[in-house]
Structure 1
Amino acid sequence: MNDIIVGMGEALWDVLPEGKKIGGAPANFAYHVSQFGFDSRVVSAVGEDKLGNEILKNFDAKKLNYLIEKVPYPTGTVQVELDPNGVPMYDIKENVAWDNIPFTSALEELAKKTRSVCFGSLAQRSVVSRETINSFLNAMPDGEGQCKIFDVNLRQGFYTKEILCNSMKRCNILKINDEELVTVSRMFGYPGIDLQDKCWILLAKYNLKMLILTCGVNGSYVFTPGEISFVETPKVEVADTVGAGDSFTATFVAAILKGKPVAEAHKLAVEVSAYVCTQNGAMPELPVRLKERLM
């Protein structure tokens, strides 16, 4: 089996106050995984338009591999405004290319060679892309070393209990932040329990290998059956937080696939995401000192 790692879902432009930047969690994830020497792919769709061509050119320039179909819908855009703390607020346009990712024979072949995939809830807001993601998961080989990461991303009400429940059943690693956990636990009917207990419940209920809980400045946790890792969030000068969570996920998965213990993978993921926060945009090149930790 090839060691291909796939980021699957939305490919879009974040239109920020200072201009547009390539966005979408799958590309951020795949880019950061590739910085640690893995063969990664972005799976998505763009429109037959200038914005779509620019995304592909940008990925080519970053030497980022992809399987991206061109479809007769506009390339996705998101209006991003930063609040006074540098935290992004999003206005995500609907009925765009990444809502219509087709399940092709080429995508099925890629799934058969994929060791790890990261997918979210946002790209499942439309039935076409949701079915493609599920078909991809079905086509992946089963095995002890397989990572299927569900990175919850609750945006603008583009999620349902059914989508979240199905995705948690399909994944073996769940990544969620503290605000999302509050929302999910309300939907699932256990709002009065503290955050850690909610995590233990989800870990057991969905038979997960790991659950990653990020709490912003209050640190992050990795829960595995019988063990918990906590790392404080370093204090850094924040440029923006766009893509920091994706870099965390990518680094953690890369470290786990390289055979690192959970605590070591967690510590490196925190350091990388802190560095990304100090840079503008979601895809800065990482310093050699961080990359070398997994080489």
Structure 2
Amino acid sequence: MSGVDVAVVGSVNLDLTVPVGRVPRPGETVLGADARRGPGGKGANQAVACARLGLRTAMIGCVGEDADGGMLAERLRAEGVDVRHLVPVPAPTGLAMIILEEGDGESTIVVSPGANGRLDAGRVRAAEGTITGARAVLAQLEIPIPAVAEAVRLATGTVVLNPAPARPLPRELLSRVDVLVPNRHELAVLCQAPTPESPDEVADLARSLLPGGPRAVVVTLGADGAMVVTADGVARVPAVPVRAVDATAAGDSFCAGLVAGLLAGEPLAEAAARGCRAAAVTVSRPGAIDALPTAADLAAPPAPGPAASPA
């Protein structure tokens, strides 16, 4: 498939979510509420979010040759995502174990990559026509780095990389990225520095990546919104006040909103503001893919509450 708006190269997981009053300490057991099973994974979340925002979207990734893999592929297809490059492989479908704190909606997540770890450079090259024909390529780090590097190398459109979960990246890979979208903790890992706390520290650390690295860095800052850092300066983007229920897919919807804004021709700060609106809708609902917004949701006024958490 060529001529899509966005090719998403990334993970597809089954999410198992257990709401708890608080996260247990080491060696402690706590009782949780009813568990929820549903589709997720950063790649799948971002692909569905892009599709719901009106973008022609293709997914490049791997699922297991099991019932969960078939279910997830069918769900993405039903959401309007092209899944011809979502390849079944002889491995378990990826699994995310999510502990969701009731009250503030923050989540603690353990991911077993499973089939996602089998997405190699060769399987990415098999989708070359889709990637080179896409107006944007969106990737994350729940898949092997060589697969990400190959997708970035093949891209001819705008490259957006969400470096999560955080790990150091080769400078050569970063130099091919147009917009890097970390949160402050991921930014610290990329720079091998302590987590920045103040806005000035965030800006300085993000700025340090620019020489020979990405053309822009958009740092998500939770309830403080986002910060756009380019060679031309720094812009702050406020969060949208909503009542947070579940922040699991907030960063993924932020990325999708950002890409949608960029492909609509918006300046980067305006596209980041669209990302904040998408994140605000997402955190106000339970679940991952089930919580993702549509374009109509972004046009509606948000429900009141404390500031949302983009990531």
- The TM-score bracket by the shorter chain reads 0.7 to 0.9
Q: What SS does the aligned partner of 1:256 have?
A: helix
Tell me the CA shift for residue 288 of structure 1: 1.4
> Which residue matches 1:48?
65
Q: Measure, in 1, the Cα distance between the counterparts of 2:61 and 2:70.
A: 13
Aligned with 1:70 (options 74, 83, 88): 88
Aligned with 1:186 (options 192, 199, 202): 192
> Which residue matches 1:198?
205
Tell me the CA shift for residue 274 of structure 1: 0.5
* Length-normalised TM-score, structure 2: 0.80
Q: What SS does the aligned partner of 1:194 have?
A: helix
Q: Measure, in 1, the Cα distance between the counterparts of 2:149 and 2:69.
A: 24
Q: Is contact 1:107–1:136 with CA below 8 Å preserved after alignment?
A: no
Q: Which moved more, 1:176-185 or 1:131-140?
A: 131-140
Distance 1:191 1:247, change over 3 A: closer
> Which residue matches 2:101?
83
> Which residue matches 1:12?
13
Q: What SS does the aligned partner of 2:161 have?
A: strand
Q: Measure, in 1, the Cα distance between the counterparts of 2:181 and 2:247.
A: 17
> Which residue matches 2:238?
232
- For the aligned residue pairs, the C-alpha RMSD in angstroms reads 2.6
* Length-normalised TM-score, structure 1: 0.84
Tell me the CA shift for residue 14 of structure 1: 1.1
> Which residue matches 1:57?
74
Q: What SS does the aligned partner of 2:181 have?
A: strand
> Which residue matches 2:308?
none
> Which residue matches 2:162?
151
> Which residue matches 1:93?
112
Q: Measure, in 2, the Cα distance between the counterparts of 1:287 and 1:169.
A: 32
Q: Which runs of 5+ in 1 are unaligned?
A: 125-129
> Which residue matches 2:139?
119
Q: Which moved more, 1:105-114 or 1:16-25?
A: 105-114
Give aligned pairs, total.
276
Aligned with 1:28 (options 45, 49, 72): 45
Q: Is contact 1:229–1:266 with CA below 8 Å preserved after alignment?
A: no
> Which residue matches 2:298?
290
Deviations 1:206-239 (A, max 9, x none): 1x33210111112211122213221222221111
Q: What SS does the aligned partner of 1:73 have?
A: coil
Q: Measure, in 2, the Cα distance between the counterparts of 1:139 and 1:261.
A: 25
> Which residue matches 2:153?
138
Distance 1:289 1:74, change over 3 A: closer
Q: Measure, in 1, the Cα distance between the counterparts of 2:270 and 2:41.
A: 27
Letter in 2 for 1:114: A
Percent identity, aligned pairs only, is: 22
Q: Is contact 1:240–1:281 with CA below 8 Å preserved after alignment?
A: yes
Q: Which runs of 5+ in 2 are unaligned?
A: 19-34, 301-311
> Which residue matches 2:29?
none
Distance 1:272 1:136, change over 3 A: closer
Higher helix share: 1
Distance 1:172 1:273, change over 3 A: same
